Structure 1
Amino acid sequence: MDAVYAAQRHIYDATRKYYLLGRDRLIDDLAPPSGGTVLEVGCGTARNLIVAARRWPQARFYGVDISEAMLATARVKVAKAGLSDRITLAQGDATAFDPQTLFGVAGFDQVFASYTLSMIPDWVGAIEQGARVLAPGGVLHIVDFGQQERMPRWWRGLLFAWLGRFHVTPRRELPVALRHVSREQGLSFGFETLLRGYAWAGTIRR
């Protein structure tokens, strides 16, 4: 990931805002309690964490990412936004991070993954871990590319070919994985399509 984002991180936010749709909708749905904790898995440049911290000033925010290059950019952006006291960042694997070791937090009230599962090889493992670190009553929120099922066929072909150039693979089995993980951990899940299938959104609730 460092190799992929060594250069891209400098223009990542400016380019992705036009097609990573549904991110701000997810942030609006977080609604953490007063003094609550929110974790973003695959936080990248911290764009989402900064928006979320401003939207929900009563909560503390945490971000984990495997790319130290992206985290370097994220730290600068968080500091520039004046949010270093409310956003904590750490390097870690989305499938196996220890929240107590990284952040001194046993579980989170809200966890979210925004357009990250399509880039994580063991994406089901990332869902499992995201659900595992939920505090009682916590919710895991996911938004990512859908299968473009109600879009023109030519659009789907062009989009998927373009995404493939950046090692992005929309996860066709996402709803199945959400159901499987929720059953394995004794949790409940929800799933919906957005924008004619452009994006898919899911939740797992403890």
Structure 2
Amino acid sequence: MEDILRKRASDRHADLMDHVYRSQSGIYDLTRKYYLLGRDQLIEALDPPPGGRVLEIGCGTARNLVQAAKVWPDAEFYGFDISSEMLKTARKNLAHGRLTDRITLFQGDAGNPALAMPPALRKFDRIFLSFCLSMIPDWQGAIRQTIALLAPGGELHIVDFGQSEKLPPSFRRILQQWLALFHVEPRKHLRRFLTELDCETGTRSEFIPQYRGYSWRFVVRLPAKEAPCSGEA
């Protein structure tokens, strides 16, 4: 019964994302470059090992994957998205950039990322989410399951809307109202959740606020060997 309910929730979210992006997928990259700030810094920081596997969850139009493949030519790249509308544009972008042999796409739900890919592909050296967590209903569960896909010594990179904590309150209020129109909810407890997860799983999280808190960036590092919890925040 639980699996059936989860599948229904996933299908509803997929329908919602297709509805949101059906009319936007073709112009998404042109419009989002002005306010999805911090994506390129995340890509530059990935630094995958030679031959390493890199996965983007919620890859959308594959804009980030195309850029990352150029910056890190020795890595293998994979991505998936819940929206079939976005994936249509993503496949066109890969064909246009002649990257279909370097980037593999799947359709799947971030709520259960392992099911988006064949079993042989379920370990990655780097995984990243770019302005995606703010649209995932069970974002905490998604992070937990994503970390389970990391190879020893792997890293999870996240960038998303922050709390604009060093920007004027009027700007924060208007931004949050505008984002809500697109079913986007910045995760104000993300930093605290990752700190708690560090103690629970042995990961080590780095918090990197950008643009006066407009965007938050995190790097979650999985030890090469299992480490005991120190009890420190």
Smaller-chain TM-score bracket: over 0.9
Query: By how many angstroms is 1:103 displaced?
Result: 7.0
Pair 1:4-2:20 in alignment: yes
* CA offset digits 1:91-122 (Å, max 9, x no partner): 11112122684373131110000000011111
Larger Rg over CA atoms: 2
Residue 65 of structure 1 corresponds to 81
Counterpart amino acid of residue 88 in structure 1: T
Moved over 2 A (4+): 99-104, 180-186
Count the aligned residue pairs: 206
Helix, strand or coil: the match of 2:209? strand
Residue 42 of structure 1 corresponds to 58
Query: By how many angstroms is 1:32 displaced?
Result: 0.7
Residue 3 to residue 81, structure 1, CA distance change in 2 (3 Å):
same
Deviates more, 1:100-109 or 1:84-93: 100-109
The answer to whether the 8 A contact 2:80-2:108 is kept is yes
**TM-score, normalised by the number of residues in structure 1:** 0.96
Residue 186 of structure 2 corresponds to 170
Residue 145 of structure 1 corresponds to 161
Helix, strand or coil: the match of 1:7? coil
Q: 2:203 aligns with which of 166, 187, 192?
A: 187
Cα distance in 1 between the residues matched to 2:87 and 2:127: 18
Counterpart amino acid of residue 184 in structure 2: V
Q: 2:111 aligns with which of 73, 82, 95?
A: 95
Cα distance in 1 between the residues matched to 2:162 and 2:104: 30
Q: Which runs of 5+ in 1 are unaligned?
A: none
The answer to whether the 8 A contact 1:95-1:126 is kept is yes
Deviates more, 1:54-63 or 1:179-188: 179-188
Cα distance in 1 between the residues matched to 2:174 and 2:193: 26
Helix, strand or coil: the match of 1:127? helix
**TM-score, normalised by the number of residues in structure 2:** 0.85
Q: Which runs of 5+ in 2 are unaligned?
A: 1-16, 223-233
Residue 116 of structure 1 corresponds to 132
Residue 60 to residue 192, structure 1, CA distance change in 2 (3 Å):
same
Cα distance in 1 between the residues matched to 2:88 and 2:182: 20
Counterpart amino acid of residue 211 in structure 2: L
The answer to whether the 8 A contact 1:23-1:114 is kept is yes
Cα distance in 1 between the residues matched to 2:165 and 2:116: 40
Q: 1:199 aligns with which of 193, 215, 222?
A: 215
Helix, strand or coil: the match of 1:104? helix
Identity of aligned residues (%): 54
Deviates more, 1:81-90 or 1:123-132: 123-132
Counterpart amino acid of residue 99 in structure 2: L
CA RMSD of aligned residues (A): 1.3
Matches within 5 A, 1:8-87: 8-87=24-103
Residue 136 to residue 11, structure 1, CA distance change in 2 (3 Å):
same
Query: By how many angstroms is 1:61 displaced?
Result: 0.3
